[in-house]
Amino acid sequence: MLWNGAWTMDIAQLKTLIHVAELGSVSRAADRLNIAQPALSRQIRLLEKELGVYLFERHGRGMEITEVGRDVVEHAARIMVEMDAIRVLANSGASSLRGTVMLGTTPTVAEIVTVPLVRRIREAHPQLGVRFSSAFSGHLLDWLQRGELELAVSYDPAPLRSLKVVPVMMEELLFVHAGETRRPVSDPMPFAQLANEPLILPSPRHGLRAIVEECARRAGITLRAHVEADSFGAQIALVRSGFGATVLPLAPIYSLVRSKELHAVPLTDPTPSRKLVIAYPADRPVSAAARFVGETFIDIAGDLVERGVWTGHMLAPRKARP
């Protein structure tokens, strides 16, 4: 922005700064933001000129943030938070929401909350729609940063300045099988016993596989993955057909456990668990409708935890705001 012959920083420059610092590359930031690379480079140069310091060191491998650049990014992130708080205050009087919220969830979460979430939205705001996308956490966060989603329900992402993360719950994972029960279902099973089980697990690129392998390392065992399947539906079909057992949260298979088609046994020493969060963009406005969907998801999760349908414990209070 040009004002009285002098360049003054603006929100677009701060947003560009956050993404370039996060990715270490103008070209990758341009791809994420869908903005021409020369335009982003110019924004960084103008911001450096305005501040009178270099924010990045340029080299053949990309751009490395300087020490003063890191301090500026900290302030830029706080500015984004304050701007969002102003928008929340301005929209707090809205009584009826409309439009379509673009929500991303992991496949297991989609199995749990799609129906109750749509039901709650219809009851509270009949003119508000939701568009679901389901994928691994990494894909969801990439789509969120690119502006293709308004919020994403994900598992414990790395801290990024471009995201605002609300912890929802710690989800416990259970040993799931279709064979005869060998103990009362409520009795925990030592994780080390999985060494003797033919397992159906997701591939190593899947976050759940990393959690299970880390628990195996801590228990001093090696797991036998007889079949690898990243599809939740495929895992369940294989377990029900007797090809092996798996490790999953209770909620998406709750009805099958109640009907005794599957058995779910708590694991201990260690107990596999993962943090479920809601991620919002930190560098652009979050609509009142997206906030409502996020708050409603937290309410549903809390209700399922209280009823024992979703094993774990809540981290977010009801009606939590990002």
Q: In degrees, to the nearest 5, what angle opens at C-alpha 92 toward C-alphas 88 and 98?
A: 95
User: Nearest 5 degrees, angle CA 26-CA 30-CA 34?
Assistant: 175
Q: In the chain, what are the domains?
A: 2-90 (1.10.10.10), 97-169+274-314 (3.40.190.10), 175-273 (3.40.190.290)
Give the burial string for 86-113 (b: 16+ CB within 10 Å, else e).
eeeeeeeeeeebeeebbbbbbebbbbbb
The per-residue pLDDT for 178 is 93
Instruction: Name the residue with tokens 């298979």.
Output: 253
The pLDDT score that the predictor gives to residue 3 is 43
Question: For residue 74, what pLDDT is reported?
Answer: 86
Closest CA to 144 of 316, 26, 290, 317: 290
Predicted confidence at residue 197, as pLDDT, reads 93
One digit per residue, the tens of pLDDT, for the chain of length 322 reads: 444 444 566 788 888 888 888 888 888 888 888 888 888 888 888 888 888 888 888 887 778 888 888 888 888 888 877 777 776 666 655 567 989 999 999 999 999 999 999 999 999 999 999 999 999 998 999 999 999 999 999 998 888 888 999 999 999 999 999 977 655 556 899 999 999 899 999 999 888 999 999 999 999 999 999 999 999 999 999 999 999 999 999 999 999 999 999 999 999 999 999 999 999 998 888 999 999 999 999 999 999 999 999 999 999 886 644 5
Report how far residue 81's alpha carbon sits from residue 109's, in angstroms, rounded to the nearest whole number: 27
pLDDT value of position 185? 55
Measure CA of the first residue to CA of the last residue in the chain; give whole Å.
30
Helix, strand counts (H, E) of the chain: 10, 15
Report strand pairing: 198-201 vs 224-228.
parallel
Listing DSSP states for 189-242 in one string gives EEGGGGGGSEEEE--TTSHHHHHHHHHHHHHT---EEEEE---HHHHHHHHHTT
Q: Are 150 and 101 in contact (CB under 8 A)?
A: yes
Q: What pLDDT is recorded for position 153?
A: 97
